[in-house]
């Protein structure tokens, strides 16, 4: 059924449709409406789940880990400072190989204090062993949550679904919320796995010198994860008629310049690409949807004909620059060494990234023969 809902509501409807069994969450702007809605579903009996009102995000993730290791399908949602507070436990969730799904509503990290969109919160968790998706629309958020449970339960690694605060989380759009029996066809109950069980006692989280072997196994699973994400996306497409891929390319095939970004900025980039083409400049757009594991093959493929790449980062690693720009450079290393990468930082702290901003990026990238230092877009005077 088509509904006009916010992306936060799309998250809640997806968790309802996923028949999640344990939810533990702590409210934080701009995530709060997700947990409020889920608490409502549980209170009204629409969702037969245990809802734990925890006292912190740290405990929210600890509860998800413990419930998941006992065998339940679990969910939590957070943002920014909350995600940072969970950091320690994010490693535990992946280290214990638990299929937890979490929505993170991207928001800037303090200080200074800012409630608006910025991807630095989740990107600074990139080494925690979680798969990370970055979404562009309410529909994609809904669909990605469903896909995430399938993926997580297949490879036994946790998945983080990211959506930008306010810009996406609070934007109302038409979202197709499918019938439950259709969802059930795609997402059956989780397959059995090793869990805490009094009839078969075992230990999770032991002290061990085999640490390196555990990490190696995680690495192997992460390598497989790309193929599994693709399989599940294809499976999803068969049932629902929608698919997303690991990256989304727009007019990249013959583009001289490709704008690379994540999340909602891509929508504006596509409009600017069309305008640029009308003026005779062949611009394409590559949106990175899956960030961990990083879809290196798909990115190299999409960029193979380009002459210039401009990366627009709504995130920032002090002392280094945009995080996507780093990743793109590393993917291109040794393959297309001549392809110049122009780094741009834009939209930090929820600053609007307008079509004019992106036109400026295109113009600058077009004019400059070689990439220089990072260009900051939208600094206030």
Partner 1 sequence: MDRSAQIKFPIPEEDLVYSGHTACPGCGAVLALKYVLKGLGPRTIVVIPPSCAGTIVAPFPYSALKIPILRIPFESTAISASGVRAALDAMGKKDIHVLGWAGDGGTFDIGLQALSAAAERNDNILYVCYDNEAYMNTGIQRSSSTPEGTWTTTTPSPYVKDTPKKDIVRIMAAHKIPYIATASIGYPLDLIKKVEKAKEKVGTKFILIFSPCPTGWRYSAEMTIKIAKLATETGVFPLYEIEDGEKYYLGQKHKEKPPKEYFSIQGRFRTMKEEDFRRVEEKVRKEREYLIRMTG
By CB under 8 A, name the binding residues for partner 1.
Answer: 21-22, 24, 48-50, 52-56, 58-59, 62-72, 74, 88-89, 92, 196-198, 200-210
Q: What is the largest CA-CA distance in the chain?
A: 70
CB of 94 to partner 1, least distance (A): 14
Distances (CA, A) of 2 to 9, 105, 173, 175, 177: 13, 23, 10, 6, 6
Query: From CA 125, how far away is CA 257, in angstroms rounded?
Result: 30
CB of 214 to partner 1, least distance (A): 10
CB of 53 to partner 1, least distance (A): 7
CB of 55 to partner 1, least distance (A): 4
CB of 185 to partner 1, least distance (A): 23
CB of 168 to partner 1, least distance (A): 29
CB of 81 to partner 1, least distance (A): 16
338 burial via Cβ count (<10 Å: 0-12, 13-18, 19+): exposed
Q: Toward partner 1, which CB reaches closer, 88 or 223?
A: 88
Contact 165, 7 (CB under 8 A): no
DSSP code for 378:
-
Radius of gyration of the chain, Cα coordinates, nearest whole angstrom: 21
Q: What are phi and psi of 361, to 5 degrees?
A: -65, -45
171 burial via Cβ count (<10 Å: 0-12, 13-18, 19+): middle
Contact 162, 132 (CB under 8 A): yes
Q: Toward partner 1, which CB reaches closer, 208 or 367?
A: 208
CB of 183 to partner 1, least distance (A): 19
CB of 261 to partner 1, least distance (A): 35
182 CB contacts (<8 Å, ≥6 apart)?
239, 240
Q: Toward partner 1, which CB reaches closer, 26 or 291?
A: 26
124 burial via Cβ count (<10 Å: 0-12, 13-18, 19+): middle
Q: Toward partner 1, which CB reaches closer, 96 or 239?
A: 96
Query: From CA 13, how far away is CA 145, in angstroms rounded?
Result: 10
Q: Toward partner 1, which CB reaches closer, 202 or 278?
A: 202
Query: From CA 367, how far away is CA 381, in angstroms rounded?
Result: 24
Q: Toward partner 1, which CB reaches closer, 11 or 63?
A: 63
Q: Toward partner 1, which CB reaches closer, 61 or 259?
A: 61
Q: Toward partner 1, which CB reaches closer, 64 or 168?
A: 64
Contact 344, 313 (CB under 8 A): yes
Given the structure tokens 């009204």, which residue do they identify? Answer: 44
Nearest to 140 by CA among 243, 34, 231, 271: 243
Residue 3 in tokens: 């509904």
CB of 87 to partner 1, least distance (A): 11
Q: Toward partner 1, which CB reaches closer, 88 or 297?
A: 88
Nearest to 325 by CA among 353, 365, 366: 365
Q: Toward partner 1, which CB reaches closer, 100 or 260?
A: 100
């Amino acid at each position: 059924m088509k509904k006009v809902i916010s992306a936060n509501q799309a998250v809640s409807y997806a968790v309802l449709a996923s028949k999640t069994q344990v939810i533990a969450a702590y409210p934080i702007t701009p995530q709060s409406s997700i947990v409020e809605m889920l608490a409502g579903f549980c209170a009204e009996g629409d969702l037969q789940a245990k809802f734990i009102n925890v006292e912190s995000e740290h405990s929210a993730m600890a509860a998800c880990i413990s419930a998941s290791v006992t065998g339940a399908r679990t969910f939590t949602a957070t943002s920014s400072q909350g995600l940072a507070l969970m950091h320690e436990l994010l490693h535990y969730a992946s280290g214990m190989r638990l299929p937890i799904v979490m929505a993170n509503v991207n928001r800037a990290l303090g200080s200074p204090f800012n409630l608006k969109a910025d991807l630095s919160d989740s990107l600074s968790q990139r080494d925690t062993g979680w798969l990370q998706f970055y979404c562009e629309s309410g529909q994609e958020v809904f669909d990605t949550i469903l896909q995430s449970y399938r993926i997580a339960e297949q490879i036994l690694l946790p998945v983080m679904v990211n959506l930008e605060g306010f810009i996406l989380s609070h934007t109302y759009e038409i979202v197709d919320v499918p019938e439950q029996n259709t969802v059930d066809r795609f997402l059956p109950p989780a397959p059995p796995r090793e869990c805490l069980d009094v009839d078969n006692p075992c230990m999770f989280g032991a002290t061990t010198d085999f640490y390196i072997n555990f990490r190696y196994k995680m690495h192997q699973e992460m390598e497989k994860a790309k193929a599994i994400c693709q399989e599940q996306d294809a499976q999803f497409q068969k049932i629902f008629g929608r698919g997303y891929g690991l990256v989304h390319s727009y007019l990249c095939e013959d583009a001289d310049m490709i704008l690379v970004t994540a999340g909602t900025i891509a929508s504006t980039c596509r409009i600017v690409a069309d305008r640029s083409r009308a003026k005779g400049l062949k611009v394409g757009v590559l949106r990175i949807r899956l960030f961990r594991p990083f879809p290196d093959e798909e990115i190299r493929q999409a960029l193979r004909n380009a002459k210039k790449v401009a990366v627009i980062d709504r995130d920032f690693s002090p002392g280094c620059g945009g995080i996507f720009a780093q990743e793109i450079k590393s993917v291109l290393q040794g393959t297309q060494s001549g392809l110049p990468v122009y780094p741009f930082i834009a939209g930090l702290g929820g600053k609007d990234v307008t079509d004019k901003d992106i036109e400026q990026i295109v113009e600058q990238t077009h004019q400059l023969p070689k990439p220089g230092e990072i260009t900051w877009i939208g600094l206030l005077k």
